[in-house]
Structure 1
Amino acid sequence: MKPNCGFLRLAGEVAAVSRETKMWKVYVPKKPSSQDTDVSPAQRDEAVRWLTEIHSKLQLYPETLVLAVSILDRFLTPIKARPKYLRCIAIACFFLGAKTCEEDECVPSLKELVASSSCGCSPSEILRMERIILDKLNWDLHTATALDFLHIVCRPKIDKKSHRLACRPKRDKKVIG
């Protein structure tokens, strides 16, 4: 007997939400300091807009961008990062999101990512930043995202609508012979 895929997906989402509630930390925008040693909220927002442009160019899944932003926020929350490293951090988060959400053949190569993003860092710098991010997040990239929340909230409405369509009386079709 084949397991119900909808049930398995829901169970996975519930597990992700449960894990997220245990480790959740609110993103508190840092006030700009006089020394500019921290990434400001405006700089973070600009990095997200930049990632959105890259995502649009590469035509990847929406989950890739959402996960990349989630990883970025989870990394920037406890870490003091200098603005000059923000693009490298952001593109490394994007690369992690792509490797997590995309099919292997659709994940852009590092050279392709560097060329299409104009991030100003080398593939080896992105890999080094990727290792730092993974280390700081304890290799836990799977977290509930805003898109997961929307899937959970919208699913009952979609299920009801599809049920109504399935229960609609079928019209007689004339057979042309």
Structure 2
Amino acid sequence: MKCPASVQSQRLAILLEDALARESRLWKAPVFKNGRIQGTDISVSQHEEAVQWLGELSTLFKFCQETFALAVSILNRLLASVKAQPKYLRCIAITALILAAKTNEEDEAIVSVKDLAVQSGCNCSPAEILRMERIILDKLHWDLYIATPVDFVNIVSSKPLF
């Protein structure tokens, strides 16, 4: 008979291995070269501003930590896949947050695209956000969810190691 702690440890190891395998298949990180994301005109500081802005919006709309982490993941995966221009960065970021919210949040917690556009101050119309949503979904092959650092923290903290 196996010890229950041993079974829990094995289950945790399997969960972590599964999450890592999925991450290695899907994860693309933007490469920073000469102070810019390679292949774009987006600077490190512009990227950092976009991520900080996503955090502020996530807090404003009372989204969970997992939604913020997934939005950053979607943003980074897209920036690693396309040659985005800085003028579209806010539209990409707000759209990544909307897609992450649709994935992680309860339906009643998600405000309309129109309200998100107005309240966020992203300077893009709801039509532009919806168009960007289709672009992101297409470029990421409709596979939005990927393990984020928050997922790994949740897996480890929710499962006793011993």
When normalised by structure 1's length, the TM-score is 0.75
Aligned to 1:17, which of 16, 20, 24?
20
Separation in 2, partners of 1:47, 1:20: 23
Number of equivalenced pairs: 150
Tell me whether 1:61 sits opposite 2:64 in the alignment: yes
Of all paired residues, the percent bearing the same amino acid is 52
Residues 1:50 and 2:53 are matched in the alignment = yes
Question: Do structure 1's residue 80 and structure 2's residue 80 form an aligned pair?
Answer: no
Please report the RMSD computed on the Cα atoms of aligned residues, expressed in angstroms.
Answer: 2.5
For residue 152 of structure 2, the aligned residue among 146, 149, 162 is 149
Q: Is it true that 1:27 corresponds to 2:5 in the alignment?
A: no
* Alignment partner, residue 143 of structure 2: 140
Distance 2:151 2:143 in 1: 16
Q: Which has the higher contact order (CA 8 A, sep 6+)?
A: 2
SS at match of 1:25: coil
Structure index of larger Rg: 1
Whether 1:112 and 2:111 are equivalent positions in the alignment is: no
Structure 1 residue ranges, 4+ long, deviating more than 4 angstroms after superposition: 9-14
Query: Which stretches in structure 2 are left out of the alignment for 5+ residues?
Result: 1-7
- Under a length normalisation based on structure 2, what TM-score does the superposition of the two structures give? 0.82
Structure 1 unmatched runs, 5+: 1-5, 164-177
Structure 2 residue aligned with 1:175: none
Task: Encode CA deviations 1:125-173: one digit per residue, 9 max, x unaligned.
Answer: 00000110110000001101010111223334xx37xx9xxxxxxxxxx
Distance 1:93 1:87 in 2: 10
